[in-house]
């Protein structure tokens, strides 16, 4: 039988399902006594509590936030698994549809795959797979993704679909999406990679 020790006090955890605390981006087991102390109202009032979550991943692993000069701001949920991203359409639309008039964005433009890594945290992978006509760009790199490229993307990364920019925000600490949306809305726009017009 595996023996777990509380990361806070070092005592052996007797519970079959210990409480879990998020510490520096890693899940740590904690005993009932320390968990109760960490989540007590007094510590919460003093702002000393850690962000807490149980072993389950959040239902929504992350969001794409449209943050662009020419397209209205939107916050779009990403699910675990494969998310086809593209221009919103009434029929044959993508999994995650962006309401835009950007004619350089395809209805099925790119894919963001959300997978659980070995450490239990979600990882986000961006690929184009020759889905788009006008290209997908990562972090304002002027080289568009090829059909072979699979790129790890991280919290705050910019993805450009056609001429529309979106920002990835990862649901790390079970925060409110309105808070994330406001944080991105208050930030400056990233430069746009200009698409060659024929």
In order along its 198 residues, the chain shows pLDDT tens digits of 456 777 666 677 766 555 666 555 566 777 776 666 666 533 443 443 333 333 455 678 999 999 999 999 999 999 999 999 999 998 888 999 999 999 999 999 999 999 987 777 899 999 998 888 899 999 988 889 998 999 999 999 999 999 999 999 998 765 677 888 888 888 888 878 877 655
Alpha-carbon torsion, ordered 140, 145, 150, 154, to 10 deg: 10
Please check whether residues 104 and 150 belong to one and the same domain: yes
Residues 6+ apart with CB under 8 A from 70: 101, 102, 163, 164
Please check whether residues 77 and 168 belong to one and the same domain: yes
Answer yes or no: is 191 within a domain: no
Answer yes or no: is 194 within a domain: no
Please check whether residues 169 and 122 belong to one and the same domain: yes
Domain with 78 in it: 62-185
Q: Tell me, what's the pLDDT at 55? A: 41
Please check whether residues 90 and 179 belong to one and the same domain: yes
Distance, in Å, from the CA atom of 59 to the CA atom of 21, rounded to the nearest integer, reads 18
Answer yes or no: is 100 within a domain: yes
Please check whether residues 48 and 90 belong to one and the same domain: no
Please check whether residues 94 and 46 belong to one and the same domain: no
Please check whether residues 122 and 81 belong to one and the same domain: yes
Q: How many residues does the chain have?
A: 198
Please check whether residues 102 and 138 belong to one and the same domain: yes
Q: Is 140 left (phi over 0), alpha (psi -120 to 50) or beta?
A: left
81 φ, ψ (degrees, to nearest 5): 105, -155
For residue 149, what is the domain's CATH number? 2.60.200.20
Please check whether residues 127 and 37 belong to one and the same domain: no
Please check whether residues 112 and 146 belong to one and the same domain: yes
Distance, in Å, from the CA atom of 76 to the CA atom of 3, rounded to the nearest integer, reads 41
β-pair type (96-98, 81-87): parallel
Answer yes or no: is 13 within a domain: yes
Q: Find, among 188, 43, 44, 195, the residue nearest to 133 by Cα.
A: 195
Q: Is 14 left (phi over 0), alpha (psi -120 to 50) or beta?
A: alpha
Domain boundary among 56, 78, 102: 56
Please check whether residues 49 and 33 belong to one and the same domain: yes
Q: What is the pTM of this model?
A: 0.68
Please check whether residues 25 and 68 belong to one and the same domain: no
Three-state SS at 183: helix
User: 22-44: buried (b, 16+ CB within 10 Å) or exposed (e) per residue?
Assistant: beeeebbbbbeebbebbeeeeee
Is-contact 125 138, C-beta < 8 A?
A: no
Task: Report how many domains make up the chain.
Answer: 2
């Amino acid at each position: 039988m595996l023996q777990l020790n509380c990361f806070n006090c070092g005592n052996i955890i007797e519970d079959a399902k210990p409480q879990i605390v998020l510490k520096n981006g890693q899940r740590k087991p904690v005993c009932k006594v320390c968990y109760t102390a960490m989540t007590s109202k007094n510590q919460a009032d003093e702002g000393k509590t850690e962000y807490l979550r149980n072993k389950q991943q959040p239902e929504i692993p992350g969001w794409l936030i449209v943050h662009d000069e020419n397209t209205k701001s939107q916050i779009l949920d990403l699910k675990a698994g494969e998310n086809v991203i593209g221009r919103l359409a009434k029929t044959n639309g993508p999994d995650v549809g962006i309401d835009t008039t950007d004619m350089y964005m395809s209805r099925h433009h790119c894919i963001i795959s959300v997978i659980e890594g070995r450490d239990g945290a979600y990882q986000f992978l961006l690929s184009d797979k020759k889905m788009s006509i006008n290209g997908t760009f990562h972090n304002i790199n002027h080289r568009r993704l090829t059909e072979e490229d699979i790129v790890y993307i991280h919290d705050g990364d910019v993805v450009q679909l056609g001429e529309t920019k979106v920002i990835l925000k990862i649901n790390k600490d079970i925060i409110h999406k309105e808070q994330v949306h406001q944080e991105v809305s208050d930030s400056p726009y990233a430069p746009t990679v200009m698409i060659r017009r024929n």
